[in-house]
Amino acid sequence: MVRERRWASTRPSFFHVAILQYNRPSVSRRSRHDHQILDRRRPGDSTGPKDSVVNWLYVAVAAVVYYALGALWFGPLFGRAWDRSIGHDRAQTGGRFPLSYYVVPLCCSVATTIVISLVLDAIDADAVTSGVLVGLGVGLASAAASLTNALTPHTPQPFVFGAVTASYHLTGATVAGAILGVVP
């Protein structure tokens, strides 16, 4: 006696859809039901895919806040600890850094806030809590990368360097996520 397998849902699996595509080469021969399966739309849904809307003003504000937090973080808040961790003495350089020291973090803060905004748009989030959680997730990913990159033999205090840099990205991305979570 052969046992009959019962499916939990009536929705076809990926393999059913692939078989439908393979066995029906002509588009004109497909039924309305087949088109709905292949398009992954619900019956009666005529709106199609959700339009993606990124509020660039909020992305710019969040990026500038993220960048300004870095100026505070690596300046008056944790600047001395960060300098010691990389073996740098600001007194010798007069506190001046090359232009790339300012431009690269600005570009990265813009890229990070764009990613946070796109993720919030993809999950259709509309609350500050969602923004904070997505920002925290992106910040954790950036913090993990910072901690990994901090462990180099050329850094005198790699764990201090990693802690200062990682905590900056974690805090900055969370704040940027909170700002982007306010977007109407």
> pLDDT tens digit string along 5-48?
454 455 555 544 444 454 544 444 445 555 545 445 455 555 55
> pLDDT tens digit string along 134-149?
999 999 999 999 999 8
- If you average pLDDT over residues 139-163, what whole number do you get? 91
CA distance 127 to 72: 27
CA distance 13 to 52: 27
- For the chain, domain boundaries: 12-49, 56-181
At residue 41, the pLDDT reads 46
> pLDDT tens digit string along 45-95?
555 555 667 899 999 999 999 999 999 999 999 999 988 998 888 778 777
